[in-house]
Amino acid sequence: MPDFWLLLSGQMTWNWSLFVVCACTYCVYIWLITNYTALTWLSCKPMLFLVSMILLYAIVGSPLAVISHLSFSLHMIQMSILYFLIPPLLLLGIPESLFQKLTSKRFVKTTSRLRNVPIASLYLFALLFLLYHLPFMLTVLVKIPMLQNAYLFVLFILSFGMWWPMVTPDPKNRLAANQMKRYAMNSGYILLPACLLFILTAFMDSGNNALFNQLTVHLCLPPSLGYTDVLPSPFNTKYDQALSGFFMLGLHKVSLGMVMKYEGQIEVKSRYPD
């Protein structure tokens, strides 16, 4: 088997442009909460926002982004973190007082209507997410990096709309506890087809990995070499694609559970303040 790390040595790069964007975003955020709220940068919400920025850079701008292209299970872990963990963490990191201050501005009010379409965002996200992982669609997208990046960016934006009813910093648009449970259950059902796609097709696919084909364009590998020859165990099994569906389901459930537990604690504190 080829040396795994030697093959990837030329691809293990860091996206410094994204690092600057994330760092500047966090600095602006700290300036805003310092000037418009009573929070400090060590408070809970700023820490949640910081974690979201770190995760975003780690899975998009670090070498982990390259490694995730070698395996469907690693890819789905990356996608699940990007769409199921980062958006709720970032939204939970926005204080209500800061949100009210920002939305009082005229230019923000003009875009506030976009936050009232969470159901449409959920269905559209599920549809585009499913289409993205269909073999013929993925094969086309990996050949046009600009189109692929635009597609993933649209999914990222839609994921915020999907999470908005549960973790919005606007209490007027946040679902009640019973409504939140129903919405969480519905979101699981809507995303289920994509998970089942990976599990069912894992036993019918010939083993061709379009994600790996995208990476091998930049690597000097023999044409006969497949991704199962490059990846170390346990990722070089035919069950890798099936595992990706279970990973997606698991991470989605974990993120929903964390959000509902956090919101439950906030509701308790608001009802019974110290």
220: tokens are 């000097």
What's the rounded Cα separation, in Å, for the pair 218 and 256?
Answer: 38
Assess whether pLDDT exceeds 60 at residue 203: yes
pLDDT in tens, 48-75: 999 999 999 999 988 888 777 777 778 8
Assess whether pLDDT exceeds 80 at residue 104: no
Q: At what angle are helices 118-132 and 145-167 packed, to 10 degrees?
A: 140
Alpha carbon distance, N-terminus to C-terminus of the chain: 62
Assess whether pLDDT exceeds 90 at residue 109: no
Distances (CA, A) of 249 to 73, 201, 202: 12, 16, 16
Q: CB–CB of 219/7 below 8 Å?
A: yes
Assess whether pLDDT exceeds 50 at residue 221: no
Buried b (16+ CB within 10 A) or exposed e, 156-175: bebbbbbbbbbbbbeeeebb
What's the rounded Cα separation, in Å, for the pair 34 and 103?
Answer: 18
Assess whether pLDDT exceeds 80 at residue 100: yes
What's the rounded Cα separation, in Å, for the pair 169 and 57?
Answer: 23
Better pLDDT: 262 or 248:
248
| Predicted pLDDT at 174 | 82
Low-confidence winner among 5-14, 18-27, 119-128, 159-168 (lowest mean pLDDT): 5-14
DSSP string, 35-78: HHSS--TTSHHHHHHHHHHHHHHHHHTSTHHHHGGG-HHHHHHH
What global pTM score does this model have? 0.81
Predicted confidence band of residue 271 (pLDDT cuts 50, 70, 90): low
Query: The tokens 């966090």 sit on which residue?
Result: 26
Assess whether pLDDT exceeds 60 at residue 8: no
Average pLDDT over residues 203-230: 50
Assess whether pLDDT exceeds 50 at residue 260: yes
141: tokens are 């997208």
What's the rounded Cα separation, in Å, for the pair 224 and 203?
Answer: 22
Better pLDDT: 233 or 145:
145
Cα radius of gyration rounded to whole Å, the chain: 20
Average pLDDT over residues 68-87: 85
| Predicted pLDDT at 31 | 93
What's the rounded Cα separation, in Å, for the pair 274 and 266?
Answer: 13
What's the rounded Cα separation, in Å, for the pair 171 and 106?
Answer: 20
